[in-house]
Structure 1
């Protein structure tokens, strides 16, 4: 079975993948938007994600080998985003990434998303002002510019969620570091 989700908030995606596992659908492959699941026993695995900052470094293989020796299986990898799973009967597991690294990763995603929003906003508004200054309406151009503005609105929602998540992690970091 294939499901499509835009992978912007990795923690929401991780929760969704674990919810699917509880229903008997286990992650087999994924990309940044397409997830492939296979039928299996309900709740037999717990899934975690990691965003490898170690891509191409000498210790990436050591890290992956350490996880494998701990009974953690790598499900699939898309770029630096990796999903792991472990049998639920062995108990819960966490991949410990410090909050500062998580904040840095979220900030990078927010920067990319904000850049896309601003670019689409600029193109949309510039195009619309040009469309209304002419005597005849260019409907194709008008439609494309409106689509740019729709992208702005649609990408604003995930950006707001990421901002909230980053702020929550910052508060937790401040609470635990004091």
Structure 2
């Protein structure tokens, strides 16, 4: 029976690079991700550096996951629209983004999700703070909206930096 462990760790959606870096550090220490979910990660003992882990936003189709399987990667978890993939490092470099445009598209998907969540929290918060049925918890939605707007700004900053890099290389 293989040795496993489960860790609980929180990452904001705009910290996907930090999350991926941590998962790969765990793989370098000999702990391969077997299941990724909401703030919960299950690992099994493996050879140090045996796997490379990647995190990607997914749509509702299975096309991307099928494409990952063709590349020799296996899906090891899903949380809302996040997909967790691992691939044996012996197969070589494992990048999800072939160029700057695919990286920008990834950031745009995250940005759209954050924008929709932010707007929903603003509407719900304002509705709960005003009118005859005002709730004392409407401020909580407005606080969530502010936090999501901060994350949206971080994503836009990353995207604008990539666009600047692309312009320099053209």
TM over 0.5: yes
Q: In structure 1, what is the equivalent of residue 156 of structure 2? A: 163
Q: In structure 1, what is the equivalent of residue 8 of structure 2? A: 3
Contact 1:6/1:32 (<8 A) preserved: no
Following superposition, the deviation at residue 36 of structure 1 comes to: 1.8
Q: In structure 2, what is the equivalent of residue 149 of structure 1? A: 142
Following superposition, the deviation at residue 74 of structure 1 comes to: 1.5
Equivalenced residue count is 162
Q: In structure 1, what is the equivalent of residue 88 of structure 2? A: 86
Distance in 2 (alpha carbons) for counterparts of 1:121 and 1:65: 40
Secondary structure of the residue that 1:94 maps to in structure 2? coil
1:154/1:37 Cα in 2 relative to 1: closer, same or farther (>3 Å)? farther
1:101/1:54 Cα in 2 relative to 1: closer, same or farther (>3 Å)? farther
Q: In structure 2, what is the equivalent of residue 67 of structure 1? A: 71
Structure 2 matches for 1:1-178, cutoff 5 A? 1-6=6-11, 8-9=13-14, 10-31=16-37, 33-51=39-57, 55-57=61-63, 61=66, 63-64=67-68, 66-68=70-72, 73-78=73-78, 81-87=83-89, 92-130=93-131, 141-142=135-136, 144-176=137-169, 178=170
Following superposition, the deviation at residue 27 of structure 1 comes to: 0.8
Q: Deviations over 1:104-161 (max 9, x none)?
A: 2321221221121122123223432337xx9xxx7xx21x212212211332332222
Please give the root-mean-square deviation of Cα atoms over the aligned residues, in Å: 3.3
Rg larger in structure:
1
Secondary structure of the residue that 2:113 maps to in structure 1? helix
Contact 1:26/1:37 (<8 A) preserved: yes
1:172/1:127 Cα in 2 relative to 1: closer, same or farther (>3 Å)? same
> What are the ranges of 5 or more consecutive residues in structure 1 without an aligned counterpart?
none
Distance in 1 (alpha carbons) for counterparts of 2:121 and 2:57: 27
1:95/1:116 Cα in 2 relative to 1: closer, same or farther (>3 Å)? closer
